[in-house]
């Protein structure tokens, strides 16, 4: 970003297990979980370093940056899973929350290491 | 009226296949199988993510003997956490994985790799700065706090035994975080962030998490 540019802002839409949909604004340099919680959403997490799967979501549309996640595989991205505690938005997003069990099963299916508890 | 032998709850008299100590917490709403999985993940983090890797981190703190001693306390206390929670896994009907590799892979927190090793792939080309080692230690403790707090949240008001064990561990993880904040703040930023640290009576004393008789003061 140069002097006069505004920092990137994105719209993140969460599909919650209740059927409710909430859209919040997230900065390009903040984690998606942080933005969701700032808006008052009750989103699960545990390790908060992009390692366990408590914060897992399904990416319905959009791009995220997982550079800061401690364990995130190409297969996770290809299957459409994200760990939002350590993922930054790179576009507007639509995410389905509470996907820890599904992401764990995906890791098992691909013989990838994973915490078992979700 | 004569007394009769009446089964109570889910466990019949003489039944050795089920445990009242498990069923009572299930009746209070604990998902016992899910709890076991979380405890195994946490035990793996204590043993494989911190105890093992802290052993390496302390070897690279030469010249910082105060840091080394405190790292050693945290290392030994993390092993004690593993020892403390291990029996509870079996009491609840669980088991450690029969492969250490599988155990390490399922740890609930990342391995505390020595900086400069590409996640343990090779030795460091240069001795890592103390601030980088302290950062690894600090972030490891933070993950541990979140993991044991989660166990306390699940067990509060339902499973006093697991709650007690997790709370004892949590007490020490919170102390460890404060220690490493104090050391990192000074080492990296020249800032004072007191932790309230007192030297342990013996290395890895584990004042909260070591099993010993309360009535006699322990030894």
C-alpha span between B187 and B189 (Å, rounded): 6
Q: Check B109 against A47: CB less than 8 A apart.
A: yes
Number of inter-chain CB pairs under 8 A, A vs B: 45
Question: Which pLDDT belongs to residue B3?
Answer: 63
Q: Which residue has the tokens 């020892």?
A: B83
ipTM above 0.95, yes or no: no
Q: Given the DSSP bridges, would you call strands A56-61 and A21-27 parallel, antiparallel or unpaired?
A: unpaired
Written as tens digits, the pLDDT of chain B (219 aa) is 566 555 556 799 999 999 999 999 999 999 999 999 999 999 999 999 999 999 999 999 999 999 999 999 999 999 999 999 999 999 999 999 999 999 999 999 999 999 999 999 999 999 999 999 999 999 999 999 999 999 999 999 999 999 999 999 999 999 999 999 999 999 999 999 999 888 888 888 888 988 764 455 544
Cβ-contact A68, A86 below 8 angstroms = yes
Q: Is residue B140 less than 8 Å (CB to CB) from chain A?
A: no
Q: Where are the alpha helices (DSSP H) in B60-114?
A: 65-91, 100-105
- Verify whether the Cβ–Cβ distance B40 to A52 is below 8 Å: no
SS3 label, residue A23? strand
**Nearest residue, CB atoms, A113 vs list B40, B105, B139:** B105
Which residue in chain A is spatially nearest to B35 when comparing CA positions? A117
Strands across the sheet with A56-61, in order?
A: A21-27, A9-15, A93-96, A56-61, A81-83
Q: Would the CB atoms of B41 and A113 count as touching at under 8 Å? A: no
Q: What tens digit of pLDDT does each residue of B23-81 get? A: 999 999 999 999 999 999 999 999 999 999 999 999 999 999 999 999 999 999 999 99
Among residues A42, A41, A47, the alpha carbon closest in space to that of A83 is found at A47
**pTM of this prediction?**
0.91
Task: Measure Cα distances from B158 to A86, B79, B119 in Å.
Answer: 32, 27, 39
Paired sense of beta strands A64-65 and A21-27, if any: unpaired
């Amino acid at each position: 970003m140069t002097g006069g540019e505004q920092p990137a802002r994105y719209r993140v839409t969460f599909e919650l297990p209740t059927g409710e949909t909430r859209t919040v604004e997230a900065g390009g340099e903040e984690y998606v979980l942080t933005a969701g919680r700032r808006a008052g959403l009750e989103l699960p997490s545990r390790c908060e370093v992009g390692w366990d799967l408590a914060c897992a979501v399904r990416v319905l549309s959009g791009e995220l940056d997982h550079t800061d996640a401690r364990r995130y595989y190409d297969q996770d991205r290809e299957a459409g899973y994200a760990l939002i505690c350590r993922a930054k938005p790179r576009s507007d997003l639509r995410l389905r929350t509470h996907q820890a069990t599904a992401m764990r099963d995906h890791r098992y299916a691909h013989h990838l290491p994973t915490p078992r508890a979700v | 009226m004569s007394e009769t032998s009446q089964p109570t709850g889910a466990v019949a008299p003489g039944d050795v296949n089920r445990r009242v100590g498990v069923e009572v917490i299930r009746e209070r709403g604990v998902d016992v199988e899910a709890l076991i999985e979380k405890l195994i993940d946490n035990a793996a983090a204590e043993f494989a993510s911190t105890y093992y890797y802290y052993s390496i981190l302390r070897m690279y703190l030469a010249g910082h003997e105060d840091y080394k001693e405190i790292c050693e306390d945290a290392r030994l206390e993390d092993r004690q956490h593993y020892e403390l929670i291990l029996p509870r896994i079996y009491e609840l009907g669980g088991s450690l994985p029969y492969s250490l590799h599988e155990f390490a892979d399922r740890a609930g927190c990342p391995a505390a790799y020595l900086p400069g090793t590409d996640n343990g792939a090779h030795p460091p080309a240069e001795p890592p700065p103390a601030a980088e080692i302290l950062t690894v230690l600090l972030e490891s403790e933070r993950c541990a706090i979140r993991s044991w707090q989660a166990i306390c949240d699940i067990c509060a008001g339902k499973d006093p035994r697991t709650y007690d064990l997790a709370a004892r561990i949590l007490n020490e993880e919170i102390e460890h975080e404060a220690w490493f904040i104090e050391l990192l703040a000074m080492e990296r930023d020249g800032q004072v962030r007191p932790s309230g640290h007192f030297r342990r009576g013996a290395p890895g004393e584990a004042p909260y998490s070591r099993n010993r008789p309360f009535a006699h003061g322990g030894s």
